[in-house]
Amino acid sequence: GFLLFLTEKHSYFASSRYCESGYYYTATGNNSIVCYKSKCKRDVLCGGVKIPDQYVGECYQLKNNRLHRSYRNGSGIPSDGYVLFVDAINTITCYGGAAAYASSCLMDEETDR
């Protein structure tokens, strides 16, 4: 599950949708991911939680030397907002006196959130 908190809209940030293989490049101008030798990943994960498509950027596939958009940009996360995904898993990191721990899977370079 996830908890969502968004505030007033200004500029937007979206997670990148990468490729099934590691073969991709970033398009000049819009920073979109372009996959070659593979398809765009259908699901983008934060830990074990699927990030909803509304928070994920577009992705193109190069087929027969032509670009095909496989996924459109989601609406994104406002730069002054945040999204918190919460998942509960039993790991070796939580032992002894540790009740829980947290980590980030994605941060905006401009806002440090």
Q: How many CA atoms lie within 13 A of 26 on its CB side?
A: 6
Q: Which of 9, 70, 4 is nearest to 35 (CA)?
A: 70
pLDDT value, residue 3: 52
Each of the 113 residues of the chain gets a pLDDT tens digit; together they read 445 544 444 577 888 999 999 899 998 888 899 999 899 999 999 888 899 999 999 999 999 989 999 999 999 888 778 888 888 777 776 667 777 777 787 777 777 76
Q: Which residue has the tokens 């996959």?
A: 35
Q: What is the 3-state secondary structure (H, E, C) of the chain?
A: CEEEECCCCCCEECECCCECCCCEEECCCCCCEEECCCCECCCCEECCEECCHHHECCEEEEECCEEEEEECCCCCEECCCEEEECCCCCCCCCCCCCCCCCCCCCCCCCCCC
Query: What's the predicted TM-score (pTM) here?
Result: 0.74
pLDDT value, residue 53: 95
pLDDT value, residue 95: 67
pLDDT value, residue 102: 76
